[in-house]
Amino acid sequence: MNLDLLKDGNVLVIGDVVLDKYIHGNVSRVSPEAPVPVLKPQSEEMRLGGAANVASNVSSLGSKVFLQGVVGKDDNAKELKALAKDKKIKSSFVASLSPTISKLRLLASKQQLIRIDSEEEFSDQDWKSTKINFNKNISSTKATALIISDYGKGTLKDIPYLIKEAKKKGVFVLVDPKGQDFSKYKGASIITPNYSEFVTAVGKVSSDSDLTKKAKKLLSDLKLQALLITRGSEGMTLIQKNKSGIKRDDFPTEAQDVFDVSGAGDTVIASLASAISSGFDLANSVKLANIAAGIVVGKSGTATPTLSELKNSFYSQDNLSKAEVKKLCQQSQKDSMKVVFTNGCFDVLHAGHVTYLQAAKKLGDKLVVGLNSDSSVKKLKGKQRPINSLEERMTILKALGCVDWVVPFTEETPLNLIKYLKPNVLVKGADYKTEDIVGSNFVLKNKGEVKTIPLVEGLSTTKKIQKIKNDPS
């Protein structure tokens, strides 16, 4: 799969747009008035939520996206529109007398304390205006995929109408369903309920075979092309029609660390739509969506995966450019993670190297290894080095669980690479003094840290090579 083809996708998103607000702070005491924590605010953050987060996910993957919804005549609407513009999302919003839907979350140390929702029912007139806009947008945008993002907030008063009009134009229709009655999604191309929503719609599922049976019946009853059930730690199950009948495929979860599942469903349907709109088949589109969901659940709040992050998970690290690693570092830092950088030749990898890299990883969240190219190793170590080529050394390093990204550099020192990546923590062996470490001044000036790690005595590549030469047997 060539993920760069996602740039060819063209998706229309319609549904309940939400402004997500986050107030981050610290809790150090309990209120004397009631047994509740007292939050001391430190920062405030605004993000796109609901259908707007779906559109943001599509945009982050590089596909074209047009967002349609209903907002109020208020400051939240202005904020939402500005965020959409910043994310390169084209949009068309009906201005309602009801307020813009918003959710305020109060967090301490990334843990959510409470959520405050602000919403009111939209009017029939809002729906009439929405229909007029939809009929215009489904033609003018030339979208090949439509996402109906139903959060049950009242924007979508006649979903069968939207499905019918989209199908008339040959548009692939994806629905993220809500509620107990799935009949309103009849005729869609695919719906993407989570397991709980699926059980609510079809009744208790007694076994894995019963899941398949009920999924097939739902597929038939709603005249769907496919049904994708997201199942948390159990991954995803795709039931689809093909030439030989109905086929089931299971996709194990790609999530490594689950921090926050907010918006994971948005990521699934957005990735699915982007891939299908770009020409990928359904199975590969689900594979892509599964990887994307695994990325966002490791982040805080409603979040989006980047194309670089997808490539990092989907491809081997050999295919990541220096620019893509920089984007991954920036995204990690945006998610309050520490990026650690170290460098070396790492020729003839031994236990000392592994111990050192494991200790380096513990100093932060992501570890980047700057790796000397073959030519720079020769300049530093002599004409007989390296023993292993750059490609071989990269393959070995990236197989280590503690190493996130490997970036080769051709210069004798990694100074330019350090300035380019801007890590939070710079690490070298304890045989260096802090002031002698290349890049230390730059990192410290950027409010970063410079650390040294004790080396394992008696272990070095030079000694290993000399031992082999002295005792070739």
The letter for the amino acid at 324 is E
**pLDDT tens readout for residues 262-280:** 457 888 999 999 999 999 9
- Look over the chain and give the mean of its residue pLDDT values, rounded to a whole number: 89
Three-state DSSP at 241 gives strand
Instruction: Please report the pLDDT score of residue 261 as a whole number.
Output: 44
In DSSP notation, 8-23 reads G-EEEEEE-EEEEEEE
- Which one is catalytic: 20, 126, 266, 404? 266
Q: Over 90: is that where the pLDDT of 399 sits? A: no
**pLDDT tens readout for residues 161-177:** 999 999 999 999 999 99
Percent of the chain with pLDDT over 70: 91
Q: Per the omega criterion (within 30 degrees of 0), is the bond before 386 cis?
A: yes
**pLDDT tens readout for residues 22-77:** 999 999 999 999 999 999 999 999 999 999 999 999 999 999 999 999 999 999 99
CB within 8 Å of 95: residues ≥ 6 apart: 71, 72, 73, 77
Instruction: Please report the pLDDT score of residue 459 as a whole number.
Output: 57
4 catalytic residue (yes or no): no
**pLDDT tens readout for residues 312-368:** 666 545 557 888 889 889 988 887 889 999 999 998 888 889 999 999 999 999 999
**pLDDT tens readout for residues 285-317:** 998 898 888 887 766 555 677 777 777 666 545
Q: Where are the domains of the chain?
A: 3-18+46-100+119-315, 318-470
**pLDDT tens readout for residues 102-122:** 999 999 987 899 999 999 999
Helix (H) or strand (E) segment spanning residue 237 = strand 236-242
In DSSP notation, 103-129 reads EEEEEETTEEEEEEEE--PPPHHHHHH
- The C-alpha torsion from 386 through 390 and 396 to 399, rounded to 10°, is 160
Closest by CA position to 381, among listed 462, 468, 460 = 462
Q: pTM, whole model, 2 decimals? A: 0.69
Instruction: Please report the pLDDT score of residue 183 as a whole number.
Output: 95
Structure tokens at 233: 């730690």
Helix (H) or strand (E) segment spanning residue 370 = strand 366-372
Three-state DSSP at 32 gives coil
Question: Do 423 and 384 contact (CB within 8 A), yes or no?
Answer: no
Helix (H) or strand (E) segment spanning residue 146 = strand 145-149
**pLDDT tens readout for residues 122-139:** 999 999 999 999 999 999
pLDDT band at 461 (very low <50, low <70, confident <90, very high): low
Distance CA 451, CA 304 (A): 32
Report the pLDDT averaged over residues 143-170: 95
**pLDDT tens readout for residues 206-265:** 998 999 999 999 999 999 999 999 988 788 899 998 877 889 999 887 654 444 344 578
Q: According to CATH, what is the number of the domain 318-470? A: 3.40.50.620
Structure tokens at 344: 């070396």
Report the pLDDT averaged over residues 410-424: 94
- Domain 3-18+46-100+119-315 = CATH 3.40.1190.20: yes
Strand-pairing partners, residue 236, are: 230, 251
Distance CA 267, CA 289 (A): 7
